Each structure stands twice: as structure tokens, then as C-alpha cells.
Amino acid sequence: MDALIAKIKNKKELSGIPDKYIATLLAPYYTKNKTISSKDEKMLLKIIRNQLRKTTGRYHTKSGTEHVSTAERTFFYPQLDEKIAALHPKSILDVGCGQNPLFQARKGIFYYAYDLNEKDLARVQAHFTHEQIAGIIKTTDITQETSFPKVDLVLAYKILDIIDTKGHPKATQVLRALDTKHLLASFPTISLSGKKMKTTHRLWFEQALRTNGYTFETFASSNELFYLARRGANKVTSTSRN
């Protein structure tokens, strides 16, 4: 299995994924089959790489060094910072953070950075050290977390849509497990091929928010729809910024 894991990670955009996570994806195949033929190995190589790209690697460039979503969001960070500052958070949990903390982590706000990509988290750690930002950096699959830290704000940028698609049970489970006053989540409005999506609002997510005691407002950049959700608020509004 180790040799196959090394081949899977030979693609730079997947090189930061922990071996143990890839091993959990491969385990069912090795449990079912005592030996893996060269033909089966080629099939698994393709299947697991595609699976990883759909989740952890889809927003990285082929060089593996740049997080595409973070780069695209650069121009919109000032508006997001205004939204966040208005909430006066003393603690933030960023799930599936990628390189987002490089732009949004601040001194005076305790920052939890959770992600699967160890290379992204290494850059975040270096940034925290240089800027003297207090926080905890954790390599984790958020769908396996059962107890998240209690925080004032959770950031979930372009992550909940890709955890799972059919029925979104895992994403809904993550939402249920969060212990927070506020949630700022986003979803793409442009496909990876560059086409405008026909449907941008996520009705499944809106229902999940209501079920878990949140109300929300929405706003948008040119390629991303944001939900700012609060527990205990009393209205739902929708605005946009392009």
C-alpha cells in the first residue's frame, strides 16, 4: 500500500495530503482483495486521485503551491474583513482553511486552522509564527471530527459543497457539530470550467441552517455566494456585491 500511496501523491496538488488519510481510502479495497494486481493498481490510482481532487485538491494549481480559491478571493477580502470585524470575534475556527488564514488571521483573535493539506498548514504555521498570531493548527478530516472547539465565528469557504453531494449528510453532520455564535460559509457561483452556475443558492444548506437554529443573510462577490448565519437572529435577507 505504501508504494501506491507514494504514486498517488506524485501529483504536486495532492502531495500535501497525509499518508494515513489516503490509506483510509484504500483500506476497503485491500480488505476486500488480499492482493492487488497491476491492473487493479492503475484503476485505484485513478479512482483515489479523482476522489482527492474532488475534495482536497480541486482548488490547488498543478504546482501544488497556490490555493486557487484564496487567490480569486484576494480582491474581496477587505469586504469579508468588514463583515467579520462587525462581529467582534475573539476566536475563529476555519474549517478546510487552505491558505485563507494568511489573509484573515489577526493578532488578538485566537485562530483554529483545520485542513487536510499539510503543505498549506505549514505555510499557515510559518505565518502565525512570523506575525505572532495565537492559534491551533490541525491536520484533520473535518467529517471525522465529533467535537469542534467553541468559538465566536466559524469560516467554511467552499468546503461544505464538496464534502459530499448526494443529500449532503456529512456536511449536515459537520454543521450540527459546530459550537459557534456565527457562521460565514461560501459556495462557488462559477464552475471549475469557468461557466456561471444556473443555481447559486444552496437550498439544502439553507434548510440545514434553519434546522440547527440559525438565521442568515447572503451576499456575493463576482464568483462566490456567502452565507452569514447567526444563532438567535430574526430575519433572512439577501444582498449582493459584484
Q: What is the CATH number of the domain that holds 163?
A: 3.40.50.150
Residues 46 and 162 in one domain: no
Q: What is the pLDDT of residue 241?
A: 44
* pLDDT, average across residues 24-35: 79
Alpha carbon of 239 to those of 2, 39, 217, 242: distances in Å?
50, 52, 8, 10
In a domain, 63, yes or no: no
In a domain, 122, yes or no: yes
* pLDDT, average across residues 57-79: 68
Pick the last residue of a domain from 57, 81, 96.
57
Query: pLDDT tier at 50 (50, 70, 90 boundaries)?
Result: confident
In a domain, 107, yes or no: yes
Query: Cα 9–224–195 angle (5° rounding)?
Result: 75
Are the beta carbons of 71 and 45 closer than 8 angstroms? no
Handedness of CA 106, 107, 109, 111 (dihedral sign): positive
Q: Which of 213, 190, 114, 116 is nearest to 155 (CA)?
A: 114
Structural domain for 191, as ranges: 68-238
Asked if residue 118 has pLDDT above 60, the reply is yes
Q: What is the pLDDT of residue 55?
A: 65
Alpha carbon of 51 to those of 35, 107, 131, 168, 186: distances in Å?
22, 36, 35, 16, 21
> What are the tens digits of pLDDT across the range 180-216?
999 999 999 987 667 888 888 999 999 999 999 999 9
Residues 102 and 220 in one domain: yes
Pick the last residue of a domain from 11, 33, 57.
57
* pLDDT top residue among 205 and 1: 205
Query: pLDDT tier at 80 (50, 70, 90 boundaries)?
Result: very high
Residues 37 and 112 in one domain: no
Are the beta carbons of 155 and 182 closer than 8 angstroms? no
Q: Cell digits for 141? A: 478530516
Are the beta carbons of 60 and 119 closer than 8 angstroms? no
Q: What is the pLDDT of residue 242?
A: 39
Residues 74 and 48 in one domain: no
Pick the last residue of a domain from 10, 36, 57.
57
Residues 35 and 84 in one domain: no
Q: What is the pLDDT of residue 63?
A: 52
Lowest mean pLDDT among 39-48, 93-102, 204-213: 39-48
- Please state, rounded to an integer, the average pLDDT across all residues of the chain: 86
Residues 86 and 118 in one domain: yes
Residues 20 and 81 in one domain: no
Are the beta carbons of 142 and 174 closer than 8 angstroms? yes
In a domain, 62, yes or no: no
Asked if residue 64 has pLDDT above 70, the reply is no
Residues 124 and 159 in one domain: yes
For the chain, the farthest-separated pair of C-alpha atoms sits apart, in whole angstroms, at 59
* pLDDT, average across residues 131-156: 95
Asked if residue 233 has pLDDT above 70, the reply is no
* pLDDT, average across residues 140-152: 92
Q: What is the pLDDT of residue 128?
A: 97
Asked if residue 57 has pLDDT above 80, the reply is no
Q: How far apart are CA 44 and CA 25, in angstroms?
A: 10
Residues 8 and 125 in one domain: no
Q: What is the pLDDT of residue 226?
A: 97
Q: How far apart are CA 143 and CA 170, in angstroms?
A: 6
* pLDDT, average across residues 147-166: 92
- Domain count for the chain, please give it: 2
Lowest mean pLDDT among 25-39, 87-101, 116-130, 228-242: 228-242
